[in-house]
Amino acid sequence: MEKASPACIVCGCAERTRLVEKQGWTVYKCAGCGLGVLDPRPDPEELGRLYEKGYFDSHYSERLKADSPAMQRRLSQQSHRLRFFRRLKREGLVVDVGCGMGYFLYAAKRAGYGVRGVDLSDWAASYITGELQIPVSIGPIDEIVLGEGTVDVLTLWHSLEHMRHPLESLNRMTGWLKPEGLLVIEVPNHEGTDAVKMGADWPDWDLPYHLYHFSPKSLHMLLAAAGFEVIREKTYLSEHVRRRLEALFVPGFLARLIATFYSGSGYAVIARRKG
C-alpha cells in the first residue's frame, strides 16, 4: 500500500473530506476542485497482481466473432461515441488508450478511420489483433512509443481514472497528437445524480482499480494544466432516476425523457490544445 500525495494533483489544495468508504477502501474529495482520490491505494506491484487475478476476465469476458450478430449489437452500442466527435474529425488516425476488447476501435475502423489500440492486457490485445485485425501497443503509457504528432483523435473511454499519474500520462500521450488533433475523454462523474443517490453502491467507484474520481470541474482543471481547453462536453441520463420512475409505472419513453434532466454516471469532453 502507498499513500497518495497530500496535496491535490490538480489544484494543489491540501484540504479534503471523506467521500466514500467501500470494501475497506476510502476515497477523499479535494475541497478545492472536487477531485476524488483513493488513499491509501495499492502500490504498483500490488495493483499489478490485482489486475492479473481476473480484472480483464471479469470486465472483458467476450471474444466475439467480427461478423457475428452479437458484434453488430456491440458496434451499435459504440455509435454514440463516434457521433460525439465525428463532425469535428471525419477521418484520420484514432488511437484508443485502454482499448479493452476493441469494440470502439472496430466501430471506428468500420466508419473509415485508421485505428490503433493501447492497453495493458496481452489477452485482450491478442483478440483485437487476431479477430479484429487492429494493431495494439501493449504496456504502461510511459513505455509506449508512438510517432510524435501523428494522431488525429486520441480517446480515453473510462481509462484516465485508472492512471497513477494522470497529468504526466496526459502530457506524454498528447505529444502523439497532431497540432489540431482532438483529445476525447470520458470518465465516471462522482458528482452526478447516480453517484450521489447511490452512495457506496454506485458501481463506478470500482475500487481499488479507480485511483482517481473526477468531477466536471476537476477534469477541466486537469486538462487546462496539460495545456488543453474543452470545446464540447456531454453528460448521460440518470439510470437511477429512470429506474425509479419506471418502478412507479411511468412509461419508459417518459422516464427516459425526465432522466435526461439529471446527470448520470458518465461525463465526456472533447478538448484541443490552447491557442
Classify residue 207: in a domain, yes or no.
Answer: yes
Domain around 228? 71-273
Classify residue 59: in a domain, yes or no.
Answer: no
pLDDT, tens digit only, all 275 positions of the chain:
888 888 999 999 999 999 999 999 999 999 999 999 999 999 888 877 777 656 666 655 667 787 888 888 888 889 999 999 999 999 999 999 999 889 999 999 999 999 999 998 888 888 999 999 999 999 889 899 999 999 999 999 999 999 999 999 999 999 999 999 999 999 999 999 999 999 999 999 999 999 999 999 999 999 999 999 999 999 998 888 889 988 988 898 888 889 888 888 999 999 999 87
CB contact at 8 A, 30 and 9 = no
Classify residue 111: in a domain, yes or no.
Answer: yes
Element (H, E) at 186: strand 177-188
Classify residue 10: in a domain, yes or no.
Answer: no
Q: How many helices (H) and strands (E) does the chain have?
A: 10, 11
Q: Burial, 248: exposed, middle or buried (Cβ in 10 Å; 0-12, 13-18, 19+)?
A: exposed
- Helices of type H across the chain: 44-50, 56-59, 69-86, 103-110, 122-131, 166-173, 193-198, 216-225, 239-247, 252-259
Classify residue 256: in a domain, yes or no.
Answer: yes
According to DSSP, the β-strands at 136-138 and 114-119 are parallel
CATH classification of the domain holding 264: 3.40.50.150
Looking at residue 31, what is its pLDDT? 96
CA–CA separation, 9 and 187 (whole Å): 17
Contacts of 61 (CB under 8 A, 6+ apart): none
Looking at residue 6, what is its pLDDT? 81
Q: Give the cell for residue 89.
A: 474529425
Classify residue 225: in a domain, yes or no.
Answer: yes
- 236 CB-side CA count, 13 A: 19
CB contact at 8 A, 259 and 245 = yes
Number of domains in the chain: 1
Looking at residue 70, what is its pLDDT? 83
Classify residue 212: in a domain, yes or no.
Answer: yes
CA–CA separation, 214 and 36 (whole Å): 6
Classify residue 260: in a domain, yes or no.
Answer: yes
